[in-house]
Amino acid sequence: MRAHYLQHAPFEALGSIEAWLRTAGAVLKGTRFFESARLPELKDLDLLVVLGGPMSVNDEADFPWLVEEKCFIRECVKAGKSVLGICLGAQLIASAMGGRVYRNPVKEIGWFPVHGVPSLDGSTFCFPPSLEVFHWHGETFDLPTGAIRIARSQACENQAFQVNRRVIGLQFHLETTPEAAQAMVSHCGAELTSAEYVQPGAAILAAEPEKYRNINNFMAQVLTYIRPTVPGRDIPRTEC
């Protein structure tokens, strides 16, 4: 499996995804837009991971590479590649496929539950009725054509979506480790203003290790679900 990641900020990295990819024997390469905007050839990847970042998908004037990145994501989806988007990455998938991205009525930062939306025919990834996850976002999106909502929360209706069998977008962070949470608080702490769905930095960092284990294990399930099929090998998938 050939995996490629798109990274938008030095402090928002792969987290637990990297260990999963290494264990899966993936050949791992990446584009770090804060260093270079060079993208790979479609033929050279099987799985694309689009990470988070502090910018908006609409900030094309400030970050011109967003235009090419969205085009590349759209081509990956059309080509049948496995694609995972996280936070900004999910918004980029939505935008690339024609969905509108805009400010959510409230910011959602910290540890809050998301709620799975059961599939009527069992054709989508299955989130549990409630799962406490790590959030850091202030924007949301309209579901693009062909997307199915698979998770929501009280603060944000579109928390996760799926397109066909290989594309999943997550507004929240299942890959977060204690080190990654500390980096987010350190670099983006100015956003931690008093609000209903914004936790103080101390509360965020006081999370028990079990919370990180739970979300990292669930991230592994998501990755297994969209993992590219290896000829001659049956990859188990999780469905409702």
Mean pLDDT within 148-172 = 97
The gap between the terminal CA atoms of the chain, to the nearest Å, is 26
Please report which confidence band the pLDDT of residue 239 belongs to, taking 50, 70 and 90 as the band edges.
very low
- Classify domain 2-226 by CATH architecture: 3-Layer(aba) Sandwich (3.40)
Would you say 195 and 107 are in contact if contact means Cβ atoms under 8 Å apart?
yes
Would you say 15 and 133 are in contact if contact means Cβ atoms under 8 Å apart?
no
Please report which confidence band the pLDDT of residue 170 belongs to, taking 50, 70 and 90 as the band edges.
very high
Taking only the tens place, the pLDDT of each residue in 19-76 is: 999 999 999 999 999 999 999 999 999 999 999 999 999 999 999 999 999 999 999 9
Q: Put the strands of the sheet holding 160-163 in their side by side order.
A: 27-32, 2-7, 47-50, 82-86, 167-170, 160-163, 147-152, 101-116, 131-141
Cβ within 8 Å of residue 36, ≥6 positions away: none
Separation CA 194–CA 200 (nearest Å): 8
Structure tokens at 181: 């949470």
Check pLDDT > 50 for residue 234: no
Q: Which residue has the tokens 């590479």?
A: 65
CA 81 to chain centre: 16
DSSP 8-state assignment for residue 189: G
Q: Exposed e or buried b for every residue in 104-139, given b needs 16+ CB within 10 A?
A: beebbbbbbbbebbeeeeeebbbbeeebebbbbbbb
Structure tokens at 163: 């397109």
Separation CA 11–CA 90 (nearest Å): 18
**Closest by CA position to 75, among listed 97, 91, 100, 58:** 97
Taking only the tens place, the pLDDT of each residue in 102-155 is: 999 999 999 999 999 988 788 899 999 999 999 999 999 999 989 999 999 999
Please report which confidence band the pLDDT of residue 236 belongs to, taking 50, 70 and 90 as the band edges.
very low
Separation CA 83–CA 229 (nearest Å): 13
Check pLDDT > 80 for residue 157: yes
Task: Confirm whether pTM is higher than 0.75.
Answer: yes
Separation CA 82–CA 226 (nearest Å): 6
Structure tokens at 217: 């294990």
Check pLDDT > 60 for residue 237: no
Mean pLDDT within 193-221 = 97
Q: Exposed e or buried b for every residue in 196-210, given b needs 16+ CB within 10 A?
A: ebbbebeebeebeee
Would you say 147 and 163 are in contact if contact means Cβ atoms under 8 Å apart?
yes
In single-letter form, the type of residue at position 107 comes to K
